Amino acid sequence: MSAIIDSAKKFQDLLDIKEHGTPYFFEKIFPAESWTARLQAKNKFKLLKNIHNQLEAMLHEDEKVCFLTSGMEESFFESIFLGQLMYYINRKAFIFTTQRLIILQINISNKPTELRAQIDYSSIKKIDSTSLGKCKIKFKNGKTSIFAHIPKKDKKFMKEVIDQLSSSLIAADSNTAGLENLCPHCYVKIEGFPEKCEICGKGFKSAAKAGWLSLLFPGLGDFYLGQHKFLAAFEILGALLIWFVYFMPEPAETAQPRTFLDYAIGAVIIIILAHGLDSLVTRHIAKKGIYPAK
C-alpha cells in the first residue's frame, strides 16, 4: 500500500490508478473540480505523503479512508493562556474512514507526532459551523470538541460524511466518550490516563510528573513530554532571565536597598506566577493525549 503513495509525484498520479488495492478512495480525497479544489488537493497530497505509514498501521480490517483534511483543535483555556501558540501545538490531521474519524497530531511541517485519537461517528449528536468559521462537534454524552482553520469546503464535506455515516451505524453505547485517546504504541482505545497500556504493556508519560517538573522550573515539563522542545527552551530562557533580573545586584547608590524579606516575597511571587502558571499549562497540554514513554 505504501509503495503506491511513496512513488506518486502528484495527486493526479493517484487518481489515475484504477485497481490499487489500497484502503483509500482517492477520487473523494482529492476532488479537483475547480482551481481552489486542486490547490487544496495538492496540500492534502503532501499531508498524505507524510502520514500514510502511521495511518495505515492504525486502520482496522476492511476500513477505508474516505476523506482527509487538517486544522486545529481549540479550547477556551488555550485561547486565553497560549494565544497563537495553539496553532503550533494543536495542529491535527482529520482522517474520515468508513468506521470512524481518526485524529493525528501533526507539527508545523505536517509530519505526524505521537498523539492519536478517534471519534466514533455514532457518538456524534450534531456538527455545526460557528459564526467564527469554526467546526463544533457535539456528542451524545454532552461533551463538545471545537476545531478551527479547516477549509470552508472541507467543513461542509465533513458534515455530509458524518451525517451519512453516523445514520448508518449502530448507536454508540453509553460509555462512548466522544473524542477518545489511542495508545501511541498499539492504537487501541485508552480510558483515562493509566501508567501503561493493558494490551501491549508499554508505558505512558505522566501528566502529573510533567506538571511538577514545570513547577520546579518552567520548561522542564515540556522537555519531559518531548513534543515541544522549542517552546520548552523558550520557557527556560525566559524564566532564567526573570530570576537573573530580579536578583541582579542593586547599584551601590540605592537609597533603600531591598531586604531579605523583600527578596523572599519577590521569589514567592515569581514561583506562583511564572512557575505555577507554566505548571498548569504543561499539565493541560499533557492531558491532550497519551504520550508514549521511551
Domains of the chain: 2-181 (2.30.29.30), 207-286 (no CATH)
Nearest to 290 by CA among 144, 113, 88: 113
pLDDT digits (tens, 9 = 90+) for 90-104: 889 999 999 899 999
Note the pTM of the prediction, 2 decimals. Answer: 0.88
pLDDT over 90 at 236, yes or no: yes
Q: What are the contacts of 32-39 at 24+ separation with CB within 8 A?
A: 36/153, 37/153
Residue 145, pLDDT above cutoff 90: no
Confidence of residue 174 (pLDDT cuts 50, 70, 90): very low
Q: Which range among 40-54, 84-98, 198-212 shows the weakest confidence by mean pLDDT?
A: 84-98
The side-by-side arrangement of strands in the sheet containing 179-181 is 124-129, 135-139, 144-148, 65-74, 91-97, 100-106, 112-120, 179-181
Write the pLDDT tens digit of every residue in 216-228. 999 999 999 987 7
Q: What percentage of the chain has pLDDT greater than the value 70?
A: 87
Question: What integer pLDDT is reported at residue 254 of this predicted model?
Answer: 65
Distance (Å, rounded) from C-alpha 21 to C-alpha 24? 8
With cut-offs at 50, 70 and 90, classify the pLDDT of residue 131. Answer: low
The least confident of 26-40, 176-190, 201-215 is 26-40
Is the pLDDT reported for residue 275 higher than 70?
Answer: yes
* Residue 21 in grid coordinates: 488495492
Segment 149-171 shows an average pLDDT of 73
Query: Range with the lowest mean pLDDT among 23-27, 101-105, 258-262?
Result: 258-262
| pLDDT reading at 122 higher than 90 | no
User: What is the C-alpha to C-alpha distance for residues 285 and 211, in angstroms, rounded to an integer?
Assistant: 9
Q: What is the average pLDDT score of the chain?
A: 85
pLDDT at residue 291 tops 90: yes
Say what percent of the chain tops pLDDT 90: 45
pLDDT exceeds 70 at position 255: no
